[in-house]
C-alpha cells in the first residue's frame, strides 16, 4: 500500500489513479478518518499518561488515596470507552488504505480496459501453413500426449493429463527457463506453495485487507486451521497462484543492506488458480486451467524509479529472448491504466501467437510495483545516508507451462500432425526427442 503522507503529497495523481483504475474509494473519507484517528489517539495517550502518573509518587498521603483511586477509575472507564472506538477507526482506516491504488508511470497508456492496451513490438509475421493448422487439443489427442477427458473425470472442469513425450517436452522447456534465469544472475528457489494469509495480503493477492472467497482468485486450504479470530490471516493457509508471493515474502519484516541490492530471484512452483469470473472467457483446452507450473522472476532493488524501469525492461527482454529461441512468434503489450491492478505502477505483457486457436495468448506479465508491496511486507534497506527505506519490487513471468505447451505444439506442427522440437529444449528434456510423431 501507499503511505498516507505520499497520498497527501500526491493527491491529484492518486485521485487520477482511483478514477482510471475504477476503484470504489472515497479519498475524502480516508483523509477525514486519518485526522479523526490522530486526534482521538492524542486524547487516549493523554489519558494513559494521567492514569500512569496518578500513583508514580510513592509518598502519596493517606487522605489523598481515595480521591486518586476514584480518579483512576474514571480514567480507566474513559479509556475503556475510547480505545474500542480507536480500534474501530483503525480497522476502517486500514480497509480504506488497502484500496488506494498506486499511481501509474508517465509512459503508461490511458485507457478503460484491455482493448486500450498498446502493442509496442511484434517479433515477426505469424506463420503461414500450407495446410489448416490443428489446435493443441487435436494435436495432443492424436499424439497421445494430452488427455482432457480423463483429466476432467479425475479433477473436474479444466483438469488435464500431460503424458508420454509431452512430459519430456513440458519439463524440458521448464528447465530451459530455469537455466536461462540462473545464467542471467537469478538465484533459483523451489518455493512454498502452501502459504499463510500475510504472504498473500503483503504481495497484493487479496482484494481487501482479508481473504474474501467471493472475489479472491485463491484456493483456501480448509481443515488445517479450524480456529478463526482476529488473526485469521495468519491461521488460514492458501495455495499460491504463482511463486511471486513466496519469493517476495522471503525477506518480509527484514532490513537489508544496500550493498546487497538489487537481489534477483527466480522461483519454480506449481500454481493454483480458481479463475473466478473467467467462465465465458477464452478458455479452450488447457489455455485457462486451475493447476500448472511456472518459473517466476522477482527483483528487489533500491527505491529508484529509473533503475526499476531499467530492470523491468531487462526482465521483459529475457522473456522475449526465450520466445525467440523457442521459435514462437510473440508480441509485447503495454498495459493501459484501466487494465492494471491496484498496486501496479508500470506493466507489460508478452503474448504468444497460437495458430490452432487463432489467438494471441498471454504467456508472460512484467509488473513494477515500486514500494506498494514492500510496505505491506515491511521489507526495507539501510541506505548509505543512514535512512531506512522501503525497497522497490518487480516481478515477471519467465515461462508458464500450459500456454507455452500450446504455443509449441501449434507453431511447430507439421502437415502429418507431428511436432518439431526446438533445439534449445532438447538438452533439458528427460528423454531427448527431435520430433513427436503420431504412433
* Residue after which a domain boundary falls, among 72, 97, 122: 97
If asked whether residues 35 and 181 sit together in one domain, one would say no
Quick check: is 211 in a domain? yes
If asked whether residues 138 and 78 sit together in one domain, one would say no
Res. 308 pLDDT band, cuts 50 70 90: very high
**What's the confidence (pLDDT) of residue 233?**
52
- Of the spans 229-243, 272-286, 354-368, which averages the highest pLDDT? 354-368
Mean of the per-residue pLDDT values for the chain? 92
Indicate if the pLDDT at residue 37 is higher than 90. Answer: yes
Quick check: is 1 in a domain? no
**What's the confidence (pLDDT) of residue 384?**
87
Residue position matching grid coordinates 536461462: 180
If asked whether residues 85 and 41 sit together in one domain, one would say yes
- Please count the structural domains in the chain: 2
Pick from 4-8, 233-237, 313-317: least confident: 233-237
If asked whether residues 85 and 177 sit together in one domain, one would say no
Indicate if the pLDDT at residue 163 is higher than 60. Answer: yes
ω before 262 within 30° of 0 (cis)? Answer: yes
Residue range 97-145, pLDDT digits in tens: 999 999 999 999 999 999 999 999 999 788 889 999 999 999 999 999 9
If asked whether residues 306 and 169 sit together in one domain, one would say yes
If asked whether residues 246 and 367 sit together in one domain, one would say yes
Mean pLDDT of 254-258: 96
What are φ and ψ of residue 300, in 5° steps? -110, 125
Q: Dig out the grid coordinates for 207 from the structure.
A: 482484494
Number of neighbours of residue 338 by Cβ within 10 angstroms: 18
Indicate if the pLDDT at residue 238 is higher than 90. Answer: yes
Residue range 315-352, pLDDT digits in tens: 999 999 999 999 999 999 999 999 999 999 999 999 99
**What's the confidence (pLDDT) of residue 64?**
61
If asked whether residues 199 and 309 sit together in one domain, one would say yes
Quick check: is 41 in a domain? yes
**What's the confidence (pLDDT) of residue 72?**
78
Proportion of the chain above pLDDT 90, given as a percent? 81
Domain hosting 169: range is 114-436
**What's the confidence (pLDDT) of residue 89?**
93
If asked whether residues 236 and 295 sit together in one domain, one would say yes
Amino acid at each position: 500500500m501507499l503511505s498516507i503522507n505520499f497520498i497527501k503529497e500526491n493527491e491529484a495523481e492518486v485521485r487520477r489513479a482511483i478514477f482510471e483504475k475504477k476503484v470504489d474509494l472515497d479519498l475524502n473519507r480516508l483523509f477525514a478518518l486519518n485526522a479523526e484517528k490522530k486526534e482521538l489517539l492524542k486524547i487516549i495517550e493523554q489519558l494513559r499518561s494521567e492514569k500512569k502518573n496518578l500513583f508514580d509518587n510513592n509518598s502519596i498521603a493517606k487522605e489523598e488515596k481515595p480521591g486518586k483511586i476514584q480518579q483512576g477509575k474514571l480514567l480507566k472507564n474513559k479509556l475503556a470507552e475510547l480505545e474500542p472506538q480507536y480500534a474501530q477507526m483503525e480497522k476502517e482506516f486500514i480497509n480504506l488504505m488497502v484500496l488506494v491504488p498506486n499511481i501509474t508511470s508517465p509512459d503508461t497508456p490511458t485507457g478503460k480496459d484491455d482493448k486500450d492496451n498498446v502493442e509496442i513490438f511484434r517479433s515477426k509475421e505469424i506463420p503461414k501453413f500450407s495446410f489448416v493448422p490443428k489446435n493443441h487439443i487435436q494435436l495432443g489427442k492424436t499424439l497421445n500426449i494430452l488427455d482432457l477427458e480423463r483429466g476432467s473425470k479425475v479433477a473436474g472442469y479444466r483438469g488435464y493429463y500431460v503424458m508420454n513425450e509431452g512430459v519430456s517436452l513440458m519439463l524440458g522447456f521448464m528447465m530451459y527457463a530455469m537455466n536461462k534465469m540462473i545464467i542471467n544472475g537469478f538465484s533459483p528457489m523451489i518455493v512454498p506453495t502452501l502459504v499463510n494469509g500475510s504472504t498473500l495480503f503483503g504481495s497484493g493477492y487479496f482484494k481487501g485487507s482479508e481473504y474474501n472467497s467471493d472475489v479472491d482468485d485463491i484456493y483456501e486450504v480448509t481443515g488445517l486451521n479450524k480456529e478463526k479470530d482476529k488473526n485469521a490471516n495468519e491461521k488460514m493457509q492458501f495455495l499460491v497462484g504463482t511463486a511471486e508471493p513466496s519469493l517476495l515474502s522471503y525477506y518480509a519484516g527484514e532490513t537489508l543492506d544496500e550493498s546487497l541490492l538489487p537481489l534477483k530471484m527466480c522461483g519454480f512452483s506449481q500454481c493454483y488458480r480458481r479463475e473466478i469470473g473467467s467462465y465465458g472467457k477464452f478458455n479452450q483446452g488447457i489455455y485457462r486451467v486451475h493447476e500448472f507450473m511456472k518459473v517466476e522472476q522477482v527483483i528487489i532493488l533500491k527505491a529508484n524509479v529509473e533503475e526499476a524501469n531499467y530492470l523491468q525492461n531487462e526482465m521483459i527482454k529475457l522473456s522475449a529472448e526465450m520466445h525467440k529461441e523457442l521459435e514462437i512468434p510473440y508480441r509485447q503489450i503495454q498495459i493501459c491504466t484501466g487494465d492494471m491492478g491496484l498496486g501496479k505502477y508500470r506493466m507489460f505483457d508478452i503474448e504468444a501467437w497460437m495458430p490452432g486457436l487463432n489467438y494471441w495468448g498471454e504467456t508472460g506479465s512484467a509488473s513494477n510495483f515500486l514500494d506498494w508491496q514492500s510496505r505491506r511486507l515491511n521489507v526495507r534497506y539501510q541506505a548509505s545516508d543512514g535512512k531506512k527505506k522501503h525497497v522497490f519490487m518487480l516481478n515477471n513471468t519467465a515461462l508458464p507451462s500450459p500456454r507455452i505447451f500450446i504455443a509449441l505444439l501449434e507453431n511447430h506442427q507439421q502437415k502429418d500432425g507431428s511436432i518439431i522440437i526446438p533445439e534449445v529444449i532438447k538438452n533439458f528434456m528427460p528423454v531427448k526427442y527431435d520430433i513427436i510423431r503420431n504412433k
